[in-house]
A and B are shown apart, each in its own frame.
Chain A
């Protein structure tokens, strides 16, 4: 079953003079358990597409069905709750709350969900262990390297038990070694826990790890291949 389905999805930005088709007529289906990369040159519409799938931006036309539900019909508060309970996010930067430790950052989202304290505690530890940060749980973000911070962000994204994780250029600010390391962790979580990942990148070495590669150009899909 498809967990994400877009139909004729369009996003048009209207500047003073011109119209930009940031996402142009995208039909896309994602099934559970995928590990999918969205690639394309800068300005090709990757961020815009991921934002719409994540309920952070609204389409100009077309529809996005997540788990059989058209998310463009939800109110603002419903969309927020939908994001909290169904989607995990990893952003390029500024993922973490600086005053909280790694473990508190991971716990925070589960607290927003209102999960029981014991579950929050064990799951946060377990996830930080899974991303290789068992010994840095009490460190604040400023004391962690960029790669470690992104790993905390991945753990945080998984903590809420989402249907899928959206990661918009999660390695853009990382050196190649940290980037490869982060990807390996994501691959492992995908394989072992069956977490669905959809991430964007323009780094060819990262793309190589994906099992499905969707290429965008000028807002449209120009190729979609599975490896």
Chain B
């Protein structure tokens, strides 16, 4: 009968009480881990959606363009793209004109940003072309005359359909107003409603003549890598290759998004920490009850010769075992529920409708179980168990042997 086995038997003296605290630990650990991986998955999903559809991992502009988005803050495509390729970077890349203007139908006019793109480059770079259903046209397909790709949201606002004629008005580099007639060639929808409100695409060659800019002039070059980690590795190289340009990563382009991702993991750990703090009060309470109702027995054990150290270790072992066992159940729950949902995803449309998309988030969330965080959580739970054990164990030592054996 070693002390661990005795402690284990002692835990099951009061099955209900131990069961309740075990459930609290297990559900708490599971809920914490689930919440953390859910939040993490939500953020990573949102970032990837935005990166894949429009943000890309890295964008390159003129310093001046960052400040005022002016049409004359352009650079030459040939001055940038070859340098990047020469630097050994083979990631998909697209250079664009990017101009703000008005888009008008007979019904209404909207302020928008128009990108003049090379359809082939853009198709390699982003997934936006996949977000146009077959019934909604194509992404600037060859053979179409003056096509424009707009979002479903813009189409609804302007009350236009596929093939409708709409007029784009921009101010060219010389300050002249230019009105250009386009036909709706494709209607897309991303998961980011804010983006959808104001972004349209036309061919580079269709837009250039109305900008008063030289052939080859662009406002931005976008790059997309395999994933966020690769981006982190390669982005600094791009910056080095282009010392005169402003090179920004997705997190700098959308600072909210960048910060959210960084904070989500930390927030999850903080939340779990707070939860564990309250859990530790539960553990202390349970163990204190367990010690106090055994006053006589602990006194008897001390009387027959069990040392203070052994009594202390016995109570510590009971508490730590309880915590460990609860954690194991929690981890098992987590593995059984979180891991399958990581690939199947959790569709929140039933809960919130399109609310998430209206704020720029995807509504199917793929939880991401961050191993480092998972280990952190387990360590925190165990530390909580050990810390919560100390007080009840000390209480057990404070019991007077004589009080216990006297009648």
Contact = CB atoms under 8 A, between A and B. Distances in A.
Interface string B1-29: 11000100110110000000000000000
Contacts of A109: 304-305
B405 interface: yes
A89 B13 contact: no
Contacts of A93: 407
A83 B406 CA distance: 17
A83 B305 contact: yes
Contacts, number: 72
Contact of A81 (B1, B303, B305, B404): B305
Given A56-B402, A77-B307, A107 B1 contact: yes
Contacts of A80: 302, 305-308
Interface string B271-313: 0000000000000000000000000110011111111101000
B249 to A, nearest CB: 61
Contacts of A77: 307-308
Chain A contact patch, size range = 35 or more
A56 B303 contact: yes
Given A80-B307, A80-B308, A109-B305, A92 B407 contact: yes
A45 B9 CA distance: 38
Q: Which of A109, A112, A160 has the most CB of B within 10 A?
A: A112
Interface in A19-48: 47
Interface string A50-90: 01001011000000000000000000110011011101010
A224 interface: no
Given A94-B300, A95-B300, A84 B9 contact: no
Interface in A93-141: 93-95, 97-100, 104, 107-109, 111-113
Nearest to A108: B1
Contacts of A172: 407
A104 B5 CA distance: 11
Nearest to A83: B305
A160 B305 CA distance: 10
B131 interface: no
Contacts of B13: 98-99
Q: How would you classify the secondary structure of chain B's contact residues: helix, strand, loop or mixed?
A: helix
A57 B304 CA distance: 13
Interface string A186-225: 0000000000000000000000000000000000000000
A51 B9 CA distance: 30
Contacts of B401: 56
B310 A51 contact: no
A118 B394 CA distance: 34
A83 B405 contact: no
A111 B1 CA distance: 7
A104 B1 contact: yes
Contacts of B305: 80-81, 83-85, 87, 109, 112-113, 160
Interface string B372-407: 000000000000000000000000000001101111
B383 to A, nearest CB: 28
A98 B302 CA distance: 16
Given A91-B303, A94-B297, A100 B402 contact: no
Contact of B304 (A47, A83, A107): A83
B301 A97 contact: yes
B307 A81 contact: yes
Contacts of A98: 13, 297
B245 to A, nearest CB: 74
Given A80-B305, A81-B305, A92-B407, A99 B6 contact: yes
A100 B9 contact: yes
A51 B405 contact: yes
A39 to B, nearest CB: 17
Nearest to B9: A99
A158 B329 CA distance: 43
B307 A51 contact: no
Nearest to B3: A111
19 contacts: A47-B406, A56-B401, A56-B405, A57-B402, A81-B305, A85-B305, A87-B305, A91-B300, A93-B407, A98-B13, A99-B6, A99-B9, A104-B1, A107-B1, A108-B1, A112-B304, A112-B305, A112-B310, A169-B407
Interface of B: 1-2, 6, 9-10, 12-13, 296-297, 300-308, 310, 401-402, 404-407
Given A80-B305, A99-B6, A100-B9, 5 more contacts: A83-B304, A89-B304, A91-B405, A109-B304, A156-B304
* Smallest CB-CB A-B distances: 4 pairs: A84-B305, A99-B9, A83-B305, A94-B296
